Amino acid sequence: MVRTDDDNKRLRLLVIDDEPIVGRRLQQVFTKMGFDVETYTNPVAAMETMDRHPFDIVVTDLKMEGLDGMAVLERVKKKNPDTKVVIITGYAQLDTASEAFRRGVFDFIAKPFRLDELKRVIIRAMEDARLSKEERS
Amino acid sequence: MDVFKGIKKFIEDRMAGGGAKTPFPASVVFERFREVLNCNNKALEIIADLGEKLSGDYIFDKQYINDSMKTLEEAVLQSVHALNSLSSGRYQELYAVYDRLTSRLHTVMAGREDRTGPIILDLKDITRPHAVIVGGKNSHLAQIAQNLGLKVPDGFVITTRAYHDLVDHNGLRRDVDAIEAMMDDPDVDVDAIEPLRIKLETSIAAAKPPPDLISLIGERLDEMKVRLGQDLMLAVRSSAQEEDMDFSFAGQFHTVLNVPADPLAVFDAYRSVAASLFGRRAIRYRLRVFPGEGHMSIAAGCYRMVDSKISGIVYTVDPSEPGGDTMMIVSVWGQGEAVVEGRASADTFYVKKGANPLLVRQKIAVKETGLYLKQGGGLETRPVPDALKDAPSLTVEQLEKLSIQAMQLENYYRRPQDIEWAIDGKGDICILQSRPLVVADTMAQQGSLAKALQKYELIVADTGAVAQQGIGAGLVYIVETVSDLDRFPEGAVLVSRRDSSQFIRVMHKTAAIVTEVGTPVSHMSTLCRELQIPCLVNVNGILSLVQNGMEVTVDAEDRRIYKGRVPELLAFKTSTNLNIAAAKEFRILKRLLNTVSSLNLVDPLMDNFVPEACETYHDILRFVHEKAVGELVEMGRDERRLLKDYWARPLDFPIPVGILVIDMGGGVSADVTGDKVPFSAITSIPFKTILEGLMFPGVWHTRAANIGFGDLVTSIVNVPTDALCGQYSGHNIAIITNDYLNLSLRFGYHFNIIDVYCSDRARDNHIYFRFLGGATDITKRSRRARLIAIILEAFGFNVESKGDIVIARSGNMPKVEIVRTLNILGRLVGFTRQLDVQMDSDEQVDRYAEAFLMGDYEIVNRR
């Protein structure tokens, strides 16, 4: 189940992509899986929401107006280092990928992708979050 | 010695040719043929890839579409270039065809398709590609009438093209462009667009008719009056592009009822409908459900006004129980407008769905008044006669008929429907509208769906591939043979060993399709995507896990099949207000694929196999491939090109066929050094296979075997004059590579050409077979040709035969199939070699065909 272990609350997932279709589609898929999903086409607005209420997992597009995926990654990690960030991109570039990994991205996924691929990444991210929590405690 | 003769002829031709184009050497032809294959492959891969994205199983964006289309355009153009360079520019007209299709694709990508096409269309003439200019609602009504045979009101549609004409004619284009540009921003401020919105709404409501519109409306009205009577009245209903597709837009746009059948009155109603595109509520609704989609247009349906005695709504699921199997029917006396707007008390019936719908509950209201048509136009409220006030407005028979139609609509559109209907004076049910029913599902919203699903028994989980996403429940119906489809029950889940495009016959009543084998790129999968049938393929062992009549729920999103009905999943399906296929990217991709992927140019033997008939990129690729093969065949017949560059070596073979082998690469093992090529050294798969067929026991029958090589040469010399049309000069020549064969084969008085490409890629592969001639009279020769045609058809060839000529084609099949077929072809060539002398009656044709198909090759010797 897609719940945190301690308080039985649903995991919060944030999706940021300037193409509305991506958010709408992921909202549908991850809501069905049991996540509490919020989607934004505007990264700045998404960050404002995050400042008020952190997310467990953030899925963000790389190339966006206003604030790109790398900047989102930096903001998220600064605010809450435990949040897992997955970057989706239509322009997979090796240098960006290695830079993103250096800055703590959980994984990279290139558009177009199968929903299954992203689901697998998200499930890994959840497990990873649980492991690091156990290590700490 | 024959070689020398050939070279001599070649030189003579060169001397006499005086300016005639020198054909390319074989190596160049073959190289360019491979280039054609490469370009075609590249293009077909992109097409398959684009098609697969429509399954809903992918996340893609506009960028992906743009990039793919760009690469595709280039690949198709390359393919046209390659054919022209192969054929010395013989197919120049393909460039014009390419340009026409490419510019159509650009129009689609720019979202400008709704500005082209007819201004007015009769409902009966509307087909799928018209959806974009007639709007969702009208397109649905046309489908309902044409595909389900249900009654809908007679009428015509004023298309989106007319809307754009109206905008241009009234000088509103700049304002429209401006508001669309603002709305292209998903985060636009609603208040900022308000002034423009108001301006457009009022301008359009008072707009002048563009030229021709009034007279075109008048013509349609006159025709309708002839069909329906002079007292015709109309309902003018909105139909926006996206309406009824995903979000209902229910009540967002205008509808004008009971309009006199006068062109000016209809235009007046039309422009008020068009103006409602910019209505305050409509724009706000659009910004919410289609953020970032500025392009919009509206069509209007002008239908005969039904003088309803009874009317109402069907919800094909009870909204209070969205996962259940009960539908809800609401009805009143007279017109249904009051129900739609929730203004009148109405009867409510609950009907359990199934082969025999069952009324389970009803609430009969006291119906004091009803809405009726007013003389001269509009509606009026009248009191309901006392006797009818608290009587049920529908009889059990009417309820049953209505329920059955509603279930048909639900199955056809594969999700719960919100249906407006009316019963006219004759007692006929008329469907006025059918759109998706969306009900809020608190369970999914609260995240408890995943947990609720755990209590259901799984038949399979995480197996198979998604051909089309979706959820469907029903009774399993196993299809073993095509004839099983004749008895396919409404709303069943089709389970089958392999996929078949034949399933199209029952897709309109299928809840879901599951197959043991198959791929998401098959024809069937494409059809499922077109018709939105939830479909899982490659589900291992499914046939051993389900039985006929077993109820299952197929979740072709998470690749799970549950035993029984899973109401929570069905409720989830009803609640998802995102039908992925209705999203902009999907709509664009789907429309692009209309001009890209369907194949109209199927049969090279038909008259329409010409460049001008190409309606899609796929047609162009098909045409290019066929003609490229033709060039190879020509090359094989033109030995001048061959003997010049290649070392032709005689084949050393137990049967005296007298073949010269020309190896263009990999066709003969490298360690052969002598002047002759032993059979054992042939590494060309197609050539070797044909020869094996010739050697098959009994095929090369003994009588014929007595004729030696010398005899063959004699017969070549003695070719009858009627056969000397140029085709007969030449050798028995095999041009080969490891995966290619072009074989010109003469036996006595007849001539075979076999051209084969046999690679690891099924769609590159082809077999071309041509047979001509004979030594006997034309009647006997024609009988043999017919015999060959019958046998080839039995092996799946596409066959054309005329007189003593047979041309057969096959292809697009895996190597193993090509090899199997070639072996048969080898046997056939041997078998029929001298049969024409024995073809002394028509009955012989069937007898010999039967014998060959049964493997009885000795029949020839029993005479």
* Contact residues on chain A for B557, CB-CB shorter than 8 A: 29, 32
Mean pLDDT for chain B overall: 83
8 A C-beta contact, residue B589 and residue B582: no
Which residue in the block uniquely carries the two structure tokens 């070689």? Answer: B3
User: B661: which 2 tokens?
Assistant: 């082998």
Average pLDDT over residues B731-755: 81
For B5-42, how does the pLDDT look when each residue is reduced to its tens digit (9 = 90+)?
A: 444 444 444 444 333 456 677 777 778 888 888 888 78
In this predicted structure, what is the pLDDT of residue B10? Answer: 44
Model confidence at B730, pLDDT cuts 50, 70, 90, reads very low
pLDDT tens digit string along B670-699? 888 777 889 999 999 999 999 999 888 888
Closest by CA to B51, choosing from B529, B465, B515, is B529
Q: How far is Cα of residue B144 from the mean position of the Cα atoms in its chain?
A: 19
**Dihedral angle computed from the Cα positions of residues A89, A94, A98 and A104, in that order, rounded to the nearest 10 degrees:** 10
Is the peptide bond prior to B260 cis by the omega test (within 30 degrees of 0)? no
Q: Residue A92 pLDDT > 60, yes or no?
A: no
pLDDT-based confidence at residue B493 (cuts at 50, 70, 90): very high
With residue B121 as reference, give the H or E element that holds it. strand B120-122
pLDDT recorded at residue B706:
39
- At residue B690, the pLDDT reads 93
Are the beta carbons of A111 and B576 separated by less than 8 Å?
no
Element (H, E) at B699: none
Its ipTM equals: 0.78
Name the residue among B59, B444, B557 with its Cβ closest to that of A111.
Answer: B59
End-to-end CA distance of chain B: 38
Q: How far is B560 from chain A (nearest CA, A)?
A: 13
More confident of the two residues A113 and B102: B102
| Strands annotated E in chain A | 12-16, 36-40, 57-61, 84-89, 107-110, 113-114
* pLDDT, position B17: 39
Q: Which structure tokens are listed for B330?
A: 């609401």
Spatial distance between the Cα atoms of B150 and B127, rounded to a whole number of angstroms: 16
Cα separation, B460 vs B560, whole angstroms:
6
Does residue B464 come out as left (phi exceeding 0), alpha (psi in the -120 to 50 range) or beta? Answer: left
Give A-chain residues touching B578 at CB under 8 angstroms. Answer: 24-25, 27-28
Q: Six-digit token pair at B201?
A: 């709404």
Is B709's pLDDT higher than 70? no
Q: Is the pLDDT of residue A58 over 60?
A: yes
Q: How many residue contacts between A and B have a Cβ separation below 8 Å?
A: 83
* Position A9 confidence tier, pLDDT thresholds 50, 70, 90: low
Residues of B with Cβ-Cβ distance to A29 under 8 angstroms:
557
The answer to whether B59 contacts A10, with C-beta atoms less than 8 Å apart, is: no
pLDDT score for B215: 96
Whole-angstrom distance, CA of residue B693 vs CA of residue B687:
10
Chain segment B276-324, per-residue pLDDT in tens: 999 988 888 788 777 777 788 999 999 999 999 999 999 998 877 777 8
Q: Write down the pLDDT at residue A7.
A: 46
In the three-class reduction of DSSP (H, G, I as helix; E, B as strand; rest coil), residue B337 is classed as helix
Instruction: Please state the φ and ψ torsions of residue B860, each to the nearest 5 degrees.
Output: -60, -35
Predicted confidence band of residue B444 (pLDDT cuts 50, 70, 90): low
Higher pLDDT, B418 or B170: B170
Q: Which residue has the tokens 């890629």?
A: B761
SS3 B361: strand
| Range scoring the smallest mean pLDDT among B138-142, B693-697, B774-778 | B774-778
* Minimum-distance CB partner of B61 among A21, A26, A27: A21
Compare CB distances from A90 to B64, B584, B586 and report the shortest one's residue.
B64
pLDDT of residue B689: 95
Per-residue model confidence (pLDDT) at position B602: 64
More confident residue, B210 or B34: B210
Find the mean pLDDT for residues B66-93: 92
Amino acid letter, B169: H
pLDDT band at A94 (very low <50, low <70, confident <90, very high): low
Min Cα distance A56 → chain B (Å) is 16
For residue B22, give every residue at least 6 positions away whose Cβ sits within 8 Å of its Cβ, in sequence order, or none: B14
Mean pLDDT of B450-474: 87
Looking at residue A111, its pLDDT comes to 82
* B748 has pLDDT over 70: no
Average pLDDT, stretch B451-456?
85
What is the spatial distance between Cα B270 and Cα B237, in angstroms, rounded to a whole number? 8
Residue B330 belongs to what H/E stretch? strand B326-333
A101/chain B closest Cα distance in angstroms: 23
Whole-number pLDDT of residue B582 = 62
Per-residue model confidence (pLDDT) at position B167 = 97
Contact B499, B515 (CB under 8 A): yes
* Whole-angstrom distance, CA of residue B758 vs CA of residue B37: 12
- Burial code (b: 16+ CB inside 10 Å, e: under 16) for B436-470 equals bbbbebebbeebebbebbeebeebbeeebbbbbbb
- pLDDT of B233 over the 80 cut: yes
pLDDT at B250: 60
Which residues are registered as beta bridge partners of B825?
Answer: none
Mean pLDDT of B732-750: 81
Residues from chain B contacting residue A28 (CB–CB below 8 Å): 576, 578, 580
- Could you tell me which residues come within 8 angstroms of residue B557 by beta carbon, excluding any fewer than 6 positions away? A29, A32, B56, B466, B469, B470, B471
A131 to chain B nearest CA, in Å?
23
Which helix (H) or strand (E) covers residue B587, if one does? helix B584-596
Check CB contact under 8 Å for A32 and B292. no
- Is the Cβ pair A34, B449 closer than 8 Å? yes
Residue, of B439 and B819, whose pLDDT is higher: B819
Query: In 3D, which of B491, B436, B141 has the Cα closest to residue B315?
Result: B436
Question: Of B218-222, B489-493, B626-630, B726-730, which gets the smallest average pLDDT?
Answer: B726-730
Contact list in A for residue B291 (CB cut-off 8 A) is 20, 41
CB atoms within 10 A of CB B710: 10
Q: Residue written as tokens 């999914």?
A: B444
Distance from CA of A118 to the nearest CA of B (A): 9
pLDDT band, residue B712 (cuts 50/70/90): very low
| β-bridge partners, B165 | none
Do residue A34 and residue B292 have CB atoms under 8 angstroms apart?
no
Is the pLDDT score of B172 beyond 50? yes
Which residue has better confidence, B732 or B15? Answer: B732
Q: What are phi and psi of B172, to 5 degrees?
A: -105, 5
- Of these ranges, B177-191, B456-470, B546-560, the one predicted with the greatest mean pLDDT is B546-560
Query: In the block, which residue shows the tokens 């959820």?
Result: B471
